Structure 1
Amino acid sequence: MAGEQVRKAWRRYDGLPPKAHIVIVIVALMMIVAPFLSAAGSGGAVTTQDSLDPNGFLGLSERSTVPVSRATLVAFDGEDLMDDLAYLACVPASTFYSEEDGVTVTSPLMFYQPTMDSPSDAETALDAGVGIEYLMQDYVTASGSRLSSVTTVDVPRSEAEGMAARWNADQLVMIKGGEAAGTAARIATANWEVARTAVVAVVDPSVSPMDDVVTGNVSGTVPAVGTVGGEFSGSIEPSFHSESSHNFDVGDQYKFVQAVLEWSTPGPFPGLTQRGKELGMHLYQGEIMVALSTEWNAFSGPLDTAQSFVYTPGPWRAAVVFIPTMGFNAPGYDGPSYASRVFEAAQYTITYDLFGGVDMPIPDVPAAGARNARFTLTWEGGRELGLLIRGPSGQEIASAIGGASPGRHELEVAELGNGMYTASVINLDGQAVEADFELEYEWTETMSELEVEGLVGATEAAVLASELNAPLLYATPDGVPGATIGAMDTLGTTDVHLVDLTGNYDRIIKEMGSFRGAGQPGIAITTHRDLDVLISEIADLGQRGREGRQDVVITTLNPWDYWHTNSNAENPQGERWGGRFFGPAAYAAANHGTPVLVTEADPRLSCSNAYHNVYWLRAYAGRSPAPVGAMYLTGQQVVDAIASYGLDGEGMESLLTVAGQFEIGTAWDRALVGATTPGRIGGTPVDASVWISRCNTYPLVIFANPGVDQSIDPHDGKRIVGSRSTRTLGTLRTVEPETEVQMDNPVAFTWACYLYKFNERASEYWGASYQAADGTIPNESPSDHPWDGGTLPDICEDVFEDYSRQAGYGEAESAGYDATVENLN
């Protein structure tokens, strides 16, 4: 039986170099004969063969995954795309699917960046080399304290040799960088001895940033529609789950709605008793919330405003909620007292106004990645007009409502997607009189069609090659480079999957057909020219070895905008045009068994991406809430795009976004909650490659955790706890210093919240208890779990400690920042 397993392993890796044969067969044999060891530790370092059974572990895609003790590093260059294309070529060499055995074989694949000598505090987010060292320490430990090989691409010799020495590598393979086709050819011949099948992607590696300015203008007339409105009054008691609603109708002639909520609550000392007694207002179009008020009465007084574009005329409603927004542990409060309790209902009034206007489609359609857009609205006659710029799904991107220079509005939008945009001009002065206007616009297009088509095709080609266990090579729109021809001859390639979204396939097919002479085997070519079909084909291949689960990986071609950790910094600090995320995204997709959706390749994704980038530039520093309507509309666009590719199966898909916070704005993830299970890997492109490598091999490297195996713990199982302090007459006094405590299976607690027995005290303070969406009430509803003592726990931070203690974990609870970081590391 063991011999047959080894023979299968040999056949499975028959395309790898002889040394790789030996390493993998040895690993396969060790996996077969070594006993399975539990995660509890056996007194020694846990090795690869110790922690895996012969079928590997259940990987990200719910396929069996077999890690091998090697690592690949590609030198990161933020100035051009050669490193990105080299990284793509390394994807099928680092992760591939063995159809014979039904397993994915994987190993870490990272961009390489050396650690910074002495980064400033603001630059710590850019020191990605630290992450490489952290991961590889774990991976080497989990692999039995040595690696079979380290492969580097375009890494200086001294640094490559240093890594191989630190990681106890039996072999160092250094591959020269340079132009894309030659580098890919060298990667292929270094990793395959024979490759009957190869994937060739058509990409122009010489593309450079564009700077094409598009300008235009459009004129129109605001119709003679005056302002109408109405008023509602009512009362509401404090509640965590109920609301008071008022319905109104919006006619077809109206384009904008604004509502103002004013309220009062009884109490003897308004300055004291009104603190945190917060009413809020939500605007609904039908059942969809499109806007909500965000004022806090501690600053604005008892007044809230909500406004929205009229996405759809018809039934609308305004809803009032009365929910606490401030804890009652503010200075001067030891706890709720009768003087500060609020049981009485609040009295409120809602006044709403409807404004007429007109929608003007922008006749020019921006290309994906259009930047620095400017829209200028001018008019005459002393009128008051407003301007909204909206995306293809109707989402409001930017607005100018009031406060303009007489007769002029100017809006700047940092980014536009590839879709039809609309300018909505609103009559704000209430006059039922027409008003003429002119709108001028301009933007700069930074990505050529050739860049988008080539890079999207190459990204998909890398995943396709991984599924086919085939090398990835490159052609250009001008033809097939000699390096690619040479590699196919060396590898004995007879079948080529040609991925060409640029439209040059006829020339390339003809050229490939003339490669081989009489008596030589010809080349059979399968073309992939349609992106939708290619995505479907990769998704079908990715279903092998698992039962129906479909993951989604999304990324962007947007260059990396780097940032500093200084909270006062004007981020982003700048752009690295050659820093891209599509390589790590392809590596993640290859491990998930799914294609990559690149936002620039689909107008729905492109425009949603652009919206979230624009919003996040405004919001990241203060984390201001996103407009609800735009969040819904852009999220729905993304979900529609996923469904159109056949990737929307039963239940919620696991959706991974691979991009930095300014490449796909962070609120993008929140917009997809509910329809998907979203997650993100970001940071720098180097960070992304490291974290994806860690995730791909997580079931292995977790056993290199010193918290699991004390034999590899330099602190012998000790963690820092404390200190404890008290405040006397306003003076903080430490009563118990930090100490080191021996513990098993430590969990680090970092308290960033202040909630403590919330419902127990809120019921007294507010006269209401928090109720979850499923109807359960913490601290009141019964619990079936024996560790809860019959009742659901309250909303209280120390509940986590109680649960971890009952589960057998140690509590590494430290108060100081340095001690917390030390515990985590």
Structure 2
Amino acid sequence: MNTDTKNRVATALLLVLLLTLSFTATSSIRSMDDQSLGPSENIHSLSAGLPDEPTPLRRAAFVSYDPSSYVDDFAYMAAVPTSVYLYNGTQYISPLIHSGGSDSEEWLISDWVDYLGVSEPVTQAISIGDFSDFEIKAIQYQIGTRLFPRIKSSDSAEIAAQLALMDWTSSTNVVVALSKDDFQDLLVTSGSATHTFDSPSIIPIVSSTSVTYGTTQNVTFTPPTSAGWMVGTFDWEGTELLTHTLYDPLGTPVDYSVYTQVFFERNTAYVSALVPLYFWYPCSTEGVWTMALQRLSQGSTPVSYSINYHPGLSQSVTVPNNAKWLNVSATWDNSGTDLNFALVNPEGRLVTWAPAESLIAGPLSSSMNVPYPSPGEWTIIGAWMNPESEQNNVQLSWSVSSLPSDLQAYLESAANGAVLASLLNAPLLYVGADAVPEITSWTLSRLGATDILLVDPLDIHSAQLESQLSGLVSSVHLLNNYSAVTHAIHSISGQHDLVVAVPIGTGDELFGSAAFSGAYHGAPVFSLTGSDNQMTTFAEETWASYFVGPEIDIYVQQRWTTRTENGWYDERIPNRYTMKSCADRFRTFAIERGAYVSNVSQEVLIFSPTCLLKVSFDRALQSHFSPGRIPASDSALASVFVNRAALHRFLFMTADSAGEALLSLYAYTEGMPFVDNFYNGYEINQIEDSLTAIQDGGFSVSTHVGFQEVFDTLTSQIALWSFSTHGTLTAAPRDPPDRPNGLGIFSLRDVDTNYGYEHSESVRDYNNDHLVNPVQFETEAIHHITRTTDDLEAVLGNIGSPIVILTACLLGGSRLPVALMEHGAVGVTASPRTVYFQPAGMLSILFTQALCEGNATGVALSRALSLVSSDFTDPLESRDPRDYANQQVLFGDPSIKLYLPDDAPRIPALNPTSLALDGHSPARGVPSVLAFGATDYLTVPLVSLGADFEYYESSNFSTFEILFPLARTVLVEPGTIQAFALSLSDSSPSINQYVRDGGTFVILGVSGNLSWSPWPLVVDTSQSGYSISLSDEGHPLVSIPNLLEETASYQGYFSSYWQNLTVLAEGSGNPVMLAGVVDSGKIAITTIDPTGQTRTNMIENAINWGAAPSLSLNSIQMNQYIIWEGDRVVITIDITDRVGVGIPDVSLDILVGNTSVEVIPLGSGQYSVTLSEDWTQGQVGTFDIVIHAQRDGYDTLSLVLVGFITIRPFPLAAIVILGGVILVSTVGYFYLRRRRDDTVSWSNKRDKKTKDERERQRQEDERFDPKEFFGVS
């Protein structure tokens, strides 16, 4: 397809979108409800949607991170369409970093620069926001190019306008969204209450029933209103298998048991005493409860049961709309007592609890915290679990923090506006809910906009805004509901993905990175809080059972006996009914937004730290949805995660070992038959099956379980790490357990072998139980060693972009997955709870096989889970899944694939500044040259040179003021500077900032008053002439591409000027042309008024000068800063270009005071000056340093560092006096010690261990009894 045809198709596509998203009415305001959306087939017929692979651009953008401001969040979203955009079936992409200066960010940018390489360097780099000079220099040095323009404003609408003007010369179609830079702080309300237990007692009920196969036996009971908790025990003689389901008075199942657990609990081969059926639950709702019992084999079973009601308390708390936190704390004064607490939502559902007496009893305090609780009357339930005939006073306190009521509306508007603008290859501009900012109005006019798409899914904007917008363009198309937004985005992208996030409310929002992901995936971005926090409340409910901690015990026969994870409570973690309710609610959430597709597996990116939105929510969405968590705690880190994911197709090949994988199988399954959920049979050989899959994928595989070898291999930047081992959260049990975000501890060997084994590498499964578990055997337990997340992080740097499979207990509830992502991992699978050998091993194999067959991580995990474990979106009918404990979740973007370098060749990166995409001209929206004057003095030569420029006069100076920060060079016509004196005086700070930020400002033929100048300059007009002499012929302004002729005329000279400017030309011995580098930019000012070809040559030099290299002082250091006369002083000077690359072979002259000193080159742009002892002797005072550096083709560096060195007179008298005092004191001290017969010694008598002794002690400290840590089944 030729270019013209492509352009016509793109135009037609946009017209179809606009038409299908609007009424055919004559009004210019067109609302897009569901009925007006029109058939999406028309769009699909013109667009293939997003391509399989994006095209990289040699570009990078950086937004300054401010965790307490919303401006940077909206600025980031405004920048998304400049970094990711779709045009004629090609998706162009480049990094957009919310820059906080982390190591993770540095590693990402390093990989990006590495991918581009020397032959394709970054050609466009911009900064947005308030960066320090140090930060700018660091970024420029890393990317190898200057940041320009540097867009600075405290107004997000102005930032969006500048971004649009920077990259678009014109755009008839513009996306408009809402922004707001200031929101109210979180509003906190609080309350408290006191409750007293006065000699309460447990109320028991004892009875019996009979359970017959084929029928459900319902045992009903009504707890007394005084009860807070109930504990039921149902027992029977014999080993028949019974299961149960407990229903609350609302008919909601809240507790249960499953066959796969009861089988072991009623089997004397596994337990010493048969385990009854238990329930243990708060009295969350008043009324009749039902215990439904089922027998799983023929016959009848008599069952005796008891139900104990524990004395309780109840307290209601009102939660308003838009709540972010409900925080409850409780204290009591009777020591040694156990109190349970629970929080019940207005619908009567248990959302969270603080269960006591799991592992550690009697803390005298407790707390519960619910993020994003639904509005209404919540109930705090408390219960005294071991009541005495005593009093117990309970103090309850609670607080509710609320988000700004309109925050979600603005974030969703801007995020979806960014996505839509990206897909339409259109700029994004901002408006308020009630008015159009002047800069937005001006930009719409400048771009020639005729059609606006106003994105406001919650429809909070006013009629006044619509009226203002309709007066600016021909048509305003309203996307004022969720379905309209979803349809518009999915229609263009051809995708079905979703992106969800939660608002933070402190100015550190994740919606910017969510918008970047949405643009990359072609997906709408929604706030998970919705209008009523129902979804987030359901999400939190899935985590409640995780507060029951694991009983960490090595012996299998004790596993089922206690109310813990690994005990009889195990199958409730998580509760399958709350998980299914959450999945159903999310399906409704998607349907309400027009985003649910029943016959397609949908990727869902979830943006939230794990402490706000627990990972059990992600697992609940499996397997119709393929969720992936972006677990960043702040927006800066989130941007690193999403950029590494979106750029993974390119960055993976920068890894040192991109074609290699690591298998670290310490504890695993071998030779075990396995039947999945659909009765497919397997034999699990975890080593061979994993090895075969990875090798068949084309990767070379190394195998290690020695901790040092594993860590070393990770640092070599492999593509895949599969790690099967024991894991836990913390070194000692805690109640509640430290999840999420526990430390994370895992097992390895102290000495390397290929795999873990019980006897030897040839006899891996010594006891033939098909479970290779080295810690069970004494000969191997002595080699067992643990390492933590902290240990791993201490040795890791940039690990490349690996995918990591963690087959271990509990590590998904620790910091390990996030830590691996911070170091570069693009995908990590892990479970937040205990997993068991066979099903976990099977899941690992299936995931590995699917991954190596080319499937994305999200699809691979969904398929594996649906075969092996629970699918909460499409559960099995009338039977339990093969396993309930595989609660693995995916950390990272679910679209990530495992690439082999040979099969995924390098995609060349394009120069964005050479693209022309229907008015979208990256970095060229504003011409590179702005000229202003009063005649054709500048325009004629600029036209003849074919320069990209715009011309301004005093009549349109206001336009110049808006645009000049975006132009690389500003030229001023001779003799016209005075005409702009008043305006320039007002703009002087802006001009100064423009130059310092990297702009080039050239004033020709200056004369008269220069009081407006940011730099001190005085022109004496008494002298003129018709010839000049060049003082610095190697300077690029007078030599590249034309050597300036000396026949040029001048009018006046500079009688005084800023010391940091260099004289380039003189007339009659006086300076007539000055130039200098000011921070990142350049200033040139001359009294020369060239004509004819000389004028053209000078203008050509001027417009090329901005790109010419410069000499800059990167740093200057002294070996000491307190200097006495007679000291030897070494000064090290680092001369670089403007991006920080050292420049050798510089002619460098240094004056200290008025004395020239010798300069010694050290290499790589470093130079040394030594002030000898003789030089400083007698040189008392403060001295300036004058630096003059020259090299042909580079801007000369002239710099004066005022008062840089201070040399002090040598304090001989003070030293003599002080020495005498010390001498007298020392003699007196020893005299007194000797009189007391004390031993006098200068040696340190502390016992010092040798290095070997310290290493042996460290190893001894790390050894422990494995029984204390890891459960085995």
Residue 757 of structure 1: aligned partner: 670
Residue 371 of structure 1: aligned partner: 325
CA distance in 2, matches of 1:231, 1:135: 69
CA distance in 1, matches of 2:540, 2:329: 16
SS in 2 for 1:80: coil
Residue 780 of structure 2: aligned partner: none
Q: How big is each residue's C-alpha offset from its partner over 1:569-624, in whole Å with a ceiling of 9 and x where there is no partner? A: xxxxxxxx332211111111122222112023333223235546888899799996
Residue 680 of structure 1: aligned partner: 629
SS in 2 for 1:544: helix
Please state how far the C-alpha of 1:555 moved relative to its aligned partner: 0.6
Q: How big is each residue's C-alpha offset from its partner over 1:64-83, in whole Å with a ceiling of 9 and x where there is no partner? A: 64443322221212121111
Please state how far the C-alpha of 1:811 moved relative to its aligned partner: 1.1
1:32-47 equivalence runs, <5 A: none
Please state how far the C-alpha of 1:556 moved relative to its aligned partner: 0.6
1:196-275 equivalence runs, <5 A: 196-213=172-189, 215=191, 228=205, 230=207, 247-250=217-220, 258-260=231-233
Q: How big is each residue's C-alpha offset from its partner over 1:338-371, in whole Å with a ceiling of 9 and x where there is no partner? A: xxxxxxxxx9987453869999995834333432
Residue 644 of structure 2: aligned partner: 694
Does 2:475 align with 1:579? Answer: no
SS in 1 for 2:686: coil
Please state how far the C-alpha of 1:439 moved relative to its aligned partner: 12
Residue 67 of structure 2: aligned partner: 78
Aligned residue type for 2:607: V
**Length-normalised TM-score, structure 1:** 0.63
Do 2:545 and 2:574's aligned partners in 1 also have CA atoms closer than 8 Å? no
Do 2:233 and 2:305's aligned partners in 1 also have CA atoms closer than 8 Å? yes
Q: How big is each residue's C-alpha offset from its partner over 1:223-262, in whole Å with a ceiling of 9 and x where there is no partner? A: xx98656558999xxxxxxx99974343677997634477
Do 2:190 and 2:400's aligned partners in 1 also have CA atoms closer than 8 Å? yes
CA distance in 1, matches of 2:478, 2:308: 55
Please state how far the C-alpha of 1:448 moved relative to its aligned partner: 1.6
Aligned residue type for 1:199: V
- When residues 13 and 511 of structure 1 are mapped into structure 2, their CA distance, relative to the original with a 3 A threshold, is closer
- When residues 606 and 361 of structure 1 are mapped into structure 2, their CA distance, relative to the original with a 3 A threshold, is farther
Please state how far the C-alpha of 1:757 moved relative to its aligned partner: 1.4
- Report how many residues are paired: 625
Does 2:148 align with 1:194? Answer: no
Residue 496 of structure 2: aligned partner: 550
Tell me whether 634-643 or 305-314 shows the greater mean CA deviation.
305-314
- When residues 10 and 416 of structure 1 are mapped into structure 2, their CA distance, relative to the original with a 3 A threshold, is closer
CA distance in 1, matches of 2:173, 2:3: 28
Does 2:538 align with 1:608? Answer: yes
SS in 2 for 1:503: coil
Residue 402 of structure 2: aligned partner: 446
Does 2:693 align with 1:799? Answer: no
CA distance in 1, matches of 2:317, 2:449: 49
Do 1:135 and 1:694's aligned partners in 2 also have CA atoms closer than 8 Å? no
Aligned residue type for 1:486: W
Residue 809 of structure 1: aligned partner: 699
- When residues 673 and 193 of structure 1 are mapped into structure 2, their CA distance, relative to the original with a 3 A threshold, is same
Does 2:523 align with 1:597? Answer: no
Do 2:329 and 2:397's aligned partners in 1 also have CA atoms closer than 8 Å? yes
CA distance in 1, matches of 2:405, 2:128: 29
CA distance in 1, matches of 2:607, 2:497: 13
Does 2:486 align with 1:539? Answer: yes
Q: Aligned to 2:607, which of 658, 661, 670? A: 658
CA distance in 2, matches of 1:426, 1:613: 19
Do 2:125 and 2:148's aligned partners in 1 also have CA atoms closer than 8 Å? yes
Do 2:319 and 2:376's aligned partners in 1 also have CA atoms closer than 8 Å? yes
Aligned residue type for 2:95: P
SS in 2 for 1:111: strand
- When residues 418 and 749 of structure 1 are mapped into structure 2, their CA distance, relative to the original with a 3 A threshold, is same
Residue 821 of structure 1: aligned partner: 715
CA distance in 2, matches of 1:180, 1:620: 49
1:31-110 equivalence runs, <5 A: 65-98=54-87, 101-110=88-97
- When residues 212 and 310 of structure 1 are mapped into structure 2, their CA distance, relative to the original with a 3 A threshold, is closer
1:24-35 equivalence runs, <5 A: none
CA distance in 2, matches of 1:477, 1:615: 43
CA distance in 1, matches of 2:450, 2:325: 44
CA distance in 2, matches of 1:188, 1:691: 26
Q: How big is each residue's C-alpha offset from its partner over 1:160-197, in whole Å with a ceiling of 9 and x where there is no partner? A: 45545544559844322422122222112112221223
Do 2:284 and 2:381's aligned partners in 1 also have CA atoms closer than 8 Å? no
CA distance in 1, matches of 2:315, 2:589: 23
CA distance in 1, matches of 2:150, 2:272: 63
Q: How big is each residue's C-alpha offset from its partner over 1:527-569, in whole Å with a ceiling of 9 and x where there is no partner? A: 444xxx2x2122212333566x52121111126xxxxxxxxxx
CA distance in 1, matches of 2:542, 2:107: 28
SS in 2 for 1:110: strand
Q: Aligned to 1:503, which of 457, 460, 465? A: 460
- When residues 676 and 7 of structure 1 are mapped into structure 2, their CA distance, relative to the original with a 3 A threshold, is closer
- When residues 349 and 134 of structure 1 are mapped into structure 2, their CA distance, relative to the original with a 3 A threshold, is farther
- When residues 468 and 363 of structure 1 are mapped into structure 2, their CA distance, relative to the original with a 3 A threshold, is farther
Aligned residue type for 1:818: D
Whose relative contact order is higher, 1 or 2, with alpha carbons under 8 Å and at least 6 apart? 1
Do 1:216 and 1:364's aligned partners in 2 also have CA atoms closer than 8 Å? no
Q: Aligned to 2:112, which of 125, 136, 143? A: 136
Residue 159 of structure 2: aligned partner: 183
Residue 1161 of structure 2: aligned partner: none
- When residues 13 and 249 of structure 1 are mapped into structure 2, their CA distance, relative to the original with a 3 A threshold, is closer
SS in 2 for 1:449: coil
Do 1:395 and 1:633's aligned partners in 2 also have CA atoms closer than 8 Å? no
CA distance in 2, matches of 1:620, 1:456: 40
Q: How big is each residue's C-alpha offset from its partner over 1:659-708, in whole Å with a ceiling of 9 and x where there is no partner? A: 22123222221222234222112234233222222332333444445445
Residue 113 of structure 1: aligned partner: 100
Does 2:416 align with 1:460? Answer: yes
**Length-normalised TM-score, structure 2:** 0.42
- When residues 486 and 290 of structure 1 are mapped into structure 2, their CA distance, relative to the original with a 3 A threshold, is farther
SS in 1 for 2:675: coil
- When residues 356 and 631 of structure 1 are mapped into structure 2, their CA distance, relative to the original with a 3 A threshold, is farther
- When residues 71 and 611 of structure 1 are mapped into structure 2, their CA distance, relative to the original with a 3 A threshold, is farther
- When residues 131 and 630 of structure 1 are mapped into structure 2, their CA distance, relative to the original with a 3 A threshold, is farther
Do 1:552 and 1:595's aligned partners in 2 also have CA atoms closer than 8 Å? yes
CA distance in 2, matches of 1:167, 1:427: 61
1:363-762 equivalence runs, <5 A: 364-374=318-328, 388-391=342-345, 394-399=348-353, 412-423=368-379, 442-477=398-433, 479-500=435-456, 501=458, 503-512=460-469, 522=473, 524-529=475-480, 533=481, 535-544=482-491, 549-558=495-504, 577-602=506-531, 603-611=533-541, 626-628=573-575, 629-651=577-599, 652-683=601-632, 684-707=634-657, 745-751=659-665, 753-757=666-670, 759=672
- When residues 615 and 227 of structure 1 are mapped into structure 2, their CA distance, relative to the original with a 3 A threshold, is closer
Do 1:361 and 1:421's aligned partners in 2 also have CA atoms closer than 8 Å? no
Residue 306 of structure 1: aligned partner: 279
Please state how far the C-alpha of 1:423 moved relative to its aligned partner: 2.6
Tell me whether 245-254 or 802-811 shows the greater mean CA deviation.
245-254
Do 2:345 and 2:379's aligned partners in 1 also have CA atoms closer than 8 Å? no
Do 2:282 and 2:381's aligned partners in 1 also have CA atoms closer than 8 Å? no
CA distance in 2, matches of 1:469, 1:300: 69
Largest Rg, 1 or 2:
2
